Amino acid sequence: MKISDAMVAAINDQIKAEFDSAYIYLAMSAYFEDAGLEGMAHWMKKQYKEEVEHAEKFIDYLYERGARVIIPEIAKPKESYADALEVFKTAYAHEQYVTSRIYKLVDLASGEKDYATLSMLKWYVDEQMEEEDNTGGIVSKLEFLGSDKHGTYIVDRELAAR
Ligand code: OFO
């Protein structure tokens, strides 16, 4: 079955969203490097690489379906934040937004009875649960320990192990 034009357009749009995510996390990593928080910088750099992989997975899927991939323009991300807590709150909210985007893709694929796309999207549904859990968990930890220097230092050391 041929993939629909609407589905191809929606996936191309999501490829852009994944690259935008990658850039947001790369900018967060640069912010942490500058603040001397190397564990957090390392965590964000890994997240950046994961987002590039998410984009590539969609790209490969479109290739597999014989569809045209449009390499998108990437939006310039925010550069500065008040503190580590604000960064991770932003990341958590961003992941919730991405989840809502993935769910819309699922809705579209279901409506079109595009079972191949639905099957591919299952990986993203699971991945989003993990992404929200990771970022939300760090927010909770920073809130629990306090986002002062001491709490931030403890979380920074922990995130270095990612
Ligand atoms: Fe691609 O999962 Fe985060 O944004």
Mutate to test the pocket of ligand 1, among 25, 43, 52, 54 (most ligand atoms within 8 A of CB): 54
The set of residues, in sequence order, having a beta carbon less than 8 Å from that of 111 and lying 6+ positions away, is none
* Exposure letters 41-66 (e unless 16+ CB within 10 A, then b): bbbbbebbeebbebbeebbebbeebe
For the entire predicted model, the pTM comes to 0.96
Mean pLDDT for 134-144 is: 97
Mean pLDDT value of segment 69-88: 96
Residues 6+ apart with CB under 8 A from 36: none
Q: Determine the distance separating the centroid of ligand 1 and the alpha carbon of 27, expressed in angstroms.
A: 15
Residue 56 CA, chain-centre distance (Å), reads: 13
Residue 123 has what pLDDT?
98
- For atom 1 of ligand 1, which residue has the closest CA? 51
